[in-house]
A and B are shown apart, each in its own frame.
Chain A
């Protein structure tokens, strides 16, 4: 079974409404999620990530396409027959049951013997560190505790895949950080495939083995957090994750996957090409703000580009410089880490030079 994908989405579309009101929440999407993977669907609200999750859970049925679970097509199977459990955004804990009854519900519905249910519930309570609260009603525990119960309830029946629908969005910052670590631990301990939906790029980058970035019902790029951040192939991905500078230019020459791009105002930049992509003519080059730096004032002549400092924003750990390049229109942002007791080096209106780190620039597919 190890060679089978945990979940495979094949050309799945989900269209809501009819006629002129028809709206494709998921649009001809295919993706394969591996066994024991922490897989994240990342995208802005309304991009179709939750619909895709609901299609896997069985709360919605695809308009077309196949959903395979360990190789078996489950697209038409009702949710109560799918060996998949969900942690809901609102937790959806049963208010008329205790913590322990909530956790045992799935096993009870599966008709497992009482002794097994009790043992499993105890094990789950221990796993999420909630042993003392087993007899409480779900209305008598805090949001973070409800979150743990929802997790334990979904994990108790030992699903093949655990689906998590923005489970951390209702928690405050500190609790969210704790739960991120907790979720990683649970995934490692249980060895269950997690499919995690979030609009929070930081959450996606810190927790996932792989991330799929979605927009308008389509998956734009799938890769490890590092690939997604360092090597975005798509304009939307580059823009959605982190801050990015976009520079338009013409390809002058291509060699070993590196293109020399003439960007005009920013000069010639060597930019890496996405694999299997060899463009000529107009391209867009992306450059992360932390991969550029301000030149010392006495070395302006050797800089990659020059511009006027529009704005300086102090962030504590670093300072953001918003520059308009020398053509007077192209914006460029760069970020420098602050040193201890450093005085502000530049002020608004200063002419500045910008240099760029080697291997930092990339060409986008579109």
Chain B
């Protein structure tokens, strides 16, 4: 090996070492703040629950068994834990409906903003992000004030004589959905807008010119071209909706549980930390499966639009 080549190789080695050194702080934070707690959750899920919460260091699978199964209190036989299964199904279902509703509301909203003149778009985007400035809890309580029996809607409707007595809207799935759609809508609008902003609107004219009706233009041209935005928005809404805690606990009122509430219950009143940990990991796995599904879809469609 020539001297020059040696020098170059030493330089390259030093370069690699420097890069590792420089990224050390970031790696440490990721390890401590993300991987560390996750590891604790995984370990706890295999331990025995302590009598007043916490865990005892006796390895067992009972936490995991209890995710979907329950032991009969009399004869100790295992059967499907209907309550847990239904909460899982409800959570997935409500999150899916939330995603679809935010898409239905967010799509025209994003389209509206993307078709405004350049100088007014900033203002519309700014208006979309205003709710982010207020604490989630306060926003949720605001909805509660609007839809409760003595709230805004019922009071107005009764004054107008349209309702004879207050209509129960709070503590229903409808209330949870309203709250979640409201909370997660910006997460749908922003990626959709980012996609639509890049859309060449002359393509729509080309579509109309080639005998496509407005609906066909939407289906055949707009939707395929903004698909990356639809996928990104759906992921951003579906994942946090699946783990939503504040909205269902306030607007669903304890009886309409979602996964987040079930997990909280195990760490709180339930005093079953291993089960809570196992439920958390199960939730994470569902999210990962959903993500994988989306990524696969996105590869087929998203890459084309330049």
Is chain B found bound to chain A in the same assembly? yes
Q: Footprint of B on A, CB under 8 Å? A: 57-59, 78-81, 84-86, 88, 90, 92-96, 105-106, 109-110, 137, 139, 153-154, 157
Given A90-B202, A92-B203, A139-B306, the answer on whether A110 and B209 have CB atoms closer than 8 Å is: no
20 new A-B pairs (CB below 8 Å) besides A81-B211, A94-B207? A58-B209, A59-B208, A79-B205, A79-B208, A79-B209, A85-B210, A86-B205, A92-B202, A92-B203, A93-B206, A94-B203, A94-B206, A94-B221, A95-B306, A96-B225, A96-B305, A105-B207, A105-B212, A109-B212, A139-B306
Given A94-B221, A96-B224, A139-B306, the answer on whether A80 and B212 have CB atoms closer than 8 Å is: yes
How many chain B residues touch the partner (CB < 8 A)?
22
- The residue in chain A whose Cβ has the minimal distance to the Cβ of B224 is A96
* Chain B residues, CB < 8 A from A154: 209-210
Contact A92 B200 (CB under 8 A): yes
* Chain A residues, CB < 8 A from B60: none
Contact B304 A80 (CB under 8 A): no
**B168 to chain A: closest CB distance in Å?**
47
* Chain B residues, CB < 8 A from A90: 200, 202
- How many angstroms between the C-alpha atoms of A154 and B202 in the bound complex? 15
Q: Footprint of A on B, CB under 8 Å? A: 200, 202-203, 205-214, 216, 220-221, 224-225, 301, 304-306
- The residue in chain A whose Cβ has the minimal distance to the Cβ of B208 is A79
- How many angstroms between the C-alpha atoms of A194 and B264 in the bound complex? 71
Contact A59 B225 (CB under 8 A): no
Contact A80 B208 (CB under 8 A): yes
- How many angstroms between the C-alpha atoms of A95 and B220 in the bound complex? 12
* Chain B residues, CB < 8 A from A78: 208
* Chain A residues, CB < 8 A from B205: 59, 79, 86, 88, 92
Among B200, B206, B209: residue with most chain A CB under 10 A:
B209
Q: Can you list 26 A-B contacts with CB-CB less than 8 angstroms, sorted by A residue number?
A: A58-B209, A78-B208, A80-B208, A80-B210, A84-B209, A86-B205, A88-B202, A90-B200, A92-B202, A92-B205, A92-B206, A93-B206, A94-B203, A94-B206, A94-B207, A95-B304, A95-B305, A96-B301, A106-B211, A109-B211, A109-B212, A109-B213, A110-B211, A137-B304, A154-B209, A157-B210
- How many angstroms between the C-alpha atoms of A339 and B295 in the bound complex? 71
Contact A96 B210 (CB under 8 A): no
* Chain B residues, CB < 8 A from A95: 203, 225, 304-306
**A164 to chain B: closest CB distance in Å?**
12
**A18 to chain B: closest CB distance in Å?**
16
* Chain A residues, CB < 8 A from B200: 90, 92
**A60 to chain B: closest CB distance in Å?**
11
**A193 to chain B: closest CB distance in Å?**
16
Contact B210 A109 (CB under 8 A): yes
* The residue from A86, A96, A137, A139 contacting B209, defined by CB atoms under 8 A apart: A86
Given A59-B205, A92-B203, A94-B203, the answer on whether A157 and B304 have CB atoms closer than 8 Å is: no
* Chain A residues, CB < 8 A from B225: 95-96
* Chain B residues, CB < 8 A from A137: 304
* Chain B residues, CB < 8 A from A84: 209
- The residue in chain A whose Cβ has the minimal distance to the Cβ of B304 is A96
- How many angstroms between the C-alpha atoms of A12 and B141 in the bound complex? 58
* Chain B residues, CB < 8 A from A139: 304, 306
- The residue in chain B whose Cβ has the minimal distance to the Cβ of A110 is B211
* Chain A residues, CB < 8 A from B305: 95-96
